[in-house]
């Protein structure tokens, strides 16, 4: 249970971070526990995390601000082990180095800065830039589906505790803490044809074959083709025929003359034979 000093301090900090959130950061305390905070970091431009949606928790001690919070990031990022306590100078790994003047916004800004660096610590992992970009593309799906896992009841989630938030909850905890963001994620998945069970792209729906209407069939055209197009096509065919006739007119004239000579000769030979 939080002390009155911790409650007062965190209430004040929530008001401050809501009014003026740091760039790429939003955060709020859980409705039932002011010591449990949820944050979302948006991947900044010019980083492998650009556009990614990284959800995590800050679990504050009852005597905050005289001791630092435990920091976890639940969304796979290629930078941190999901749901693992991170060893940072601003986390509970180093209580003696924590400055009580530091606020929630200071802690999350420090986390984002560390995330976009390559410094290693307990809870961090190595990955290529391309791998981190792929993780970023799947963050929305992962947050709202729990990685495609089966949904769990809220009661079970509460019994598990904060350290196992992601274990098969089907996105229920994220949905509980970020209902509006979750709704946007589901719309995004539907628009992008993302399969909630797998996170993979669904195949495009096959278009059903359309049948010609009597009017269209009478024109001899494809459905959706205007009569003007059919007329233009016929005109092109006529012009093509006329063009062929024009190109071969001398051959036709020469052939006609030769045919005339042959017929004349035949008629002449017939007349001579008759007179003889």
Residue 23's region, left for phi above 0, alpha for psi from -120 to 50, else beta, is beta
Does the annotation count 87 as an active-site position? yes
Do 125 and 79 contact (CB within 8 A), yes or no?
yes
CA distances (Å), origin 34, targets 7, 29, 141, 181: 7, 5, 27, 21
Do 104 and 56 contact (CB within 8 A), yes or no?
no
pLDDT band at 125 (very low <50, low <70, confident <90, very high): very high
pLDDT exceeds 70 at position 39: yes
Q: Which of 199, 82, 191 is nearest to 141 (CA)?
A: 199
Query: Which residues sit opposite 40 in a β-bridge?
Result: 26, 55
User: Where do you find CATH 3.10.110.10 in the chain?
Assistant: 4-137
pLDDT exceeds 60 at position 269: no
Do 65 and 6 contact (CB within 8 A), yes or no?
yes
Integer-rounded Cα radius of gyration of the chain? 38
194-242 pLDDT per residue, tens: 999 999 999 887 765 555 444 433 434 444 444 333 344 445 445 545 5
Q: What is the per-residue pLDDT for 196?
A: 93
What is the topology classification, in CATH, of domain 4-137?
Ubiquitin Conjugating Enzyme (3.10.110)
- 26, 67, 70, 87: the active-site residue: 87
Q: What is the per-residue pLDDT for 5?
A: 95
52-76 pLDDT per residue, tens: 999 999 999 999 999 999 999 999 9
pTM comes to 0.71
Do 12 and 19 contact (CB within 8 A), yes or no?
no
pLDDT exceeds 80 at position 185: yes
Q: What is the per-residue pLDDT for 216?
A: 38
- Mean pLDDT, range 131-141, rounded to an integer: 97
Do 64 and 6 contact (CB within 8 A), yes or no?
yes
Q: What is the per-residue pLDDT for 207?
A: 63
């Amino acid at each position: 249970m939080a002390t009155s000093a911790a409650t007062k301090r965190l209430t004040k900090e929530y008001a401050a971070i809501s009014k003026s959130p740091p760039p790429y950061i939003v955060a709020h305390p859980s409705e039932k526990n002011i010591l449990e905070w949820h944050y979302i970091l948006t991947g900044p431009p010019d980083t492998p995390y650009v556009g990614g949606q990284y959800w995590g928790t800050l679990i504050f001690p009852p005597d905050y601000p005289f001791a630092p919070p435990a920091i976890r990031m639940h969304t796979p990022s290629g930078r941190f082990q999901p749901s693992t306590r991170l060893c940072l100078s601003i986390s509970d790994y180093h209580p003696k180095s924590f400055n009580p003047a530091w606020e929630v916004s200071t802690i999350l800004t420090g986390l984002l800065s560390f995330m976009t660096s390559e410094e290693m610590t307990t809870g961090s992992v190595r990955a290529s830039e391309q791998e981190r970009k792929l993780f970023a593309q799947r963050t929305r799906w992962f947050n709202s589906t729990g990685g495609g896992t089966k949904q769990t009841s809220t009661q079970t989630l509460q019994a598990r505790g904060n350290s196992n938030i992601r274990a098969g909850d089907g996105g229920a905890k994220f949905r509980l803490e970020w209902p509006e963001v979750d709704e946007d994620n589901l719309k995004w998945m539907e628009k992008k044809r993302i399969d909630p069970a797998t996170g993979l792209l669904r195949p495009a729906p096959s278009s059903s074959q359309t049948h010609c209407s009597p009017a269209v069939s009478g024109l001899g055209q494809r459905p959706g083709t205007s009569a003007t197009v059919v007329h233009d096509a016929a005109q092109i065919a006529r012009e093509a025929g006329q063009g062929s006739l024009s190109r071969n007119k001398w051959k036709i004239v020469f052939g006609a003359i030769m045919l005339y000579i042959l017929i004349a000769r035949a008629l002449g030979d017939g007349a001579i034979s008759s007179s003889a």
